[in-house]
Chain A
Amino acid sequence: MASTVATEVPKSRVVVDAERCKGCDLCVVACPQQNLHLSGALNRSGYHPAVFEYHGKKGACTACGICYWVCPDFAITEVLRWKA
């Protein structure tokens, strides 16, 4: 039986390189929509890396790129936006 689940296409995406992330929390507190949080899992260096979710605590990601600018470890590698 084919399930008909209506999935929404995210309008923007943030790619986090979990192995580079040092879990400094800066992108988490700087995100205006609170779409990033620290993972419970550990990466290879023993840090809790940041995880991106499209629907955050306040709303959907707007691809503003603030996480990209504040990240000191270049762990936010890409900020992608849906082509209009």
Chain B
Amino acid sequence: MIDIEGHYEVKLGPLPTLTGKPTHYCAGCEHGTLTRLIAVALHEMGVRERTVLVDSVGCSVLAHEYLNVDAIQSPHGRAPAVMTGIKRMHPELLVFAVQGDGDAVSIGLSELIYAANRGEPITVFLVNNGIYGMTGGQMAPTTPEGMVTMTTPHGRDIAITGAPIDASKLLATFEAPAYVKRVFLPVTPTPAPDFYNARGSIEGARSVKNAFRVQEMGGFSFVEFVSTCNVNWKMSILKSKQYAAEVLAKVFPPGLFKDKFGVEKR
């Protein structure tokens, strides 16, 4: 038996920015994928020691359990306001929040808009799965038309509840935000059977890093990740990825809405 152990190099390995705790997320949830992307970006930029994570309310609330960074818990939807305070007192810190669509687009939309309009050098990651995940699948402002949720059992009727709110497009209308982007994070079905491409994760990794770089350059950065919630959509994991590609990607088409500093080209 030849010893082959020493002949391997680690291409991708464990990260010091992750605590190593098992996640509480449901199987196949994009929250975990995003946590990994953030961990990789923080590790590659070497900024773990001066990073502060602001917890929002929702499934993202336990992100501090997995990311090995300092964290503070904000009231529901008020993460951008808390981040503003931290950043103004300690401009040398890297401050970011992971928010859900119920947190950022519903209850905390005002805080998000005003922080963006002031151009605060903070980073907001929005995980948009079109539903309230943690509370049991109620309709969110981002629920696409016709989607069946707990509170819209006959499908969302936009004549009664209004059309889905497009947070990225909304923030891109302001002058101050420096980086506004939307990424389709789940694996995408391909014509080949049983094969899904993972372009979303790779694109997401680049976007997370760019968002942090924009913050270091002094601009407001916002990345929206179109995601799935197979448990509350009442679908299998792969069916939910397909639904996201067919329905959610049409309502929220991925794209770069604003790039003031041109980080995407570099």
Contact = CB atoms under 8 A, between A and B. Distances in A.
Interface residues of A, number: 32
Interface in A1-23: 9, 12-13, 19-20, 22-23
Nearest to B230: A24
A29 interface: yes
Nearest to A67: B198
A68 interface: yes
Given A24-B237, A69-B201, A79 B12 contact: yes
Contact of A69 (B4, B13, B22, B202): B202
Given A25-B237, A71-B36, A72-B33, A65 B25 contact: no
A74 B238 contact: no
Contact of B201 (A32, A70, A73, A79): A70
A77 B28 contact: no
Tell me the interface secondary structure of chain B in the complex.
mixed
A35 B205 CA distance: 23
Contacts of B187: 26, 29-30, 70
Contacts of A80: 8-11
B195 A29 contact: yes
A81 B10 CA distance: 6
A27 B44 CA distance: 23
Nearest to B19: A74
Contact of A78 (B10, B194, B202, B238): B10
Given A72-B23, A74-B36, A66 B198 contact: yes
A22 to B, nearest CB: 4
A63 interface: yes
Contact of A30 (B23, B66, B197): B197
Contact of A47 (B14, B20, B27): B27
Nearest to A23: B27
Contacts of B23: 72-74
Given A25-B237, A69-B198, A72-B23, A81 B28 contact: no
Interface in B212-237: 237
B36 A69 contact: yes
A11 to B, nearest CB: 9
A9 B4 contact: yes
Interface string B2-40: 101001111111100010101101111111110111000
A71 B141 CA distance: 28
Contact of A73 (B2, B4, B32): B32
A42 B54 CA distance: 36
A81 B9 contact: yes
Contacts of B238: 25, 29
A65 B11 contact: yes
Contacts of A47: 27
B257 interface: no
Contacts of B202: 69
Contacts of A30: 187, 195-198
Interface of A: 9, 12-13, 19-20, 22-26, 29-30, 32, 34, 47, 63, 65-66, 68-74, 77-83
